[in-house]
Amino acid sequence: MTTNSPRLAIVAAFTLLAMLVCPGVGAVASPRHHGHSSAQKNLEKDYALIYGTVWGANNYPVYGVHIKVRRANEKKARWEAYSDHAGEFAVRVPPGKVDYIVWADIKVPKGKAKPQVAVHIEDDERQDIALHLTQ
């Protein structure tokens, strides 16, 4: 045997373990009846998507900005998200003819409004927006 045989034995053991575990994981994840679970039903529901990018004053995408979304005729946010490393975020909202307000929940100087964008949704569609943080 060569000096690599212990390493080969470990790789073979992990491969065998993976082959034994993976089919079991698939069986657990798949439904055992002909109906759908409530989680699957929620994923199958129609939705509209508000997809946006947060841009800083220097025109670079901004990470970690707290985004809030509300219906235009309401006061409180119903949906929230955070911008990722590319400054992007996505929020699922119910489909249908509704206007939304999307804003960055950041500290702003007194008397200044938080950056926000109005979004109009007609149905189960995607609307792309940009939030510009100019201070």
- pLDDT, position 29: 40
Q: How far apart are the first and last CA of the chain?
A: 68
Mean pLDDT on 65-79:
97
Torsion of CA 26, 31, 32, 36, to 10 degrees: -170
Q: Which residues pair with 84 in a beta bridge?
A: none
One domain for residues 33 and 50: no
On average, the pLDDT of the chain sits at 81
One domain for residues 73 and 115: yes
One domain for residues 57 and 119: yes
CB contact at 8 A, 131 and 54 = yes
Mean pLDDT on 121-132:
96
One domain for residues 54 and 82: yes
Q: What is the pLDDT of residues 1-36, one digit of tens each?
A: 445 566 666 656 655 555 555 554 444 444 444 455
The C-alpha atoms of residue 128 and residue 48 are separated, in whole angstroms, by 11
One domain for residues 23 and 85: no
Mean pLDDT on 50-78:
96
Mean pLDDT on 94-115:
93
One domain for residues 55 and 78: yes
- pLDDT, position 95: 96
One domain for residues 118 and 82: yes
Q: How many domains does the chain have?
A: 2
One domain for residues 75 and 29: no
One domain for residues 50 and 116: yes
Q: What residue numbers bound the domain in which 127 lies?
A: 46-132
87 to 1, 22, 43: CA distances (angstroms)? 54, 35, 25
How many residues does the structure list for the chain? Answer: 135
Q: Residue 70's domain is classified under what CATH number?
A: 2.60.40.10
- pLDDT, position 28: 40
pLDDT over 70 (residue 39)? no
- pLDDT, position 129: 97
pLDDT over 90 (residue 66)? yes
One domain for residues 85 and 121: yes
Q: What is the pLDDT of residues 105-126, one digit of tens each?
A: 999 889 888 999 999 999 999 9
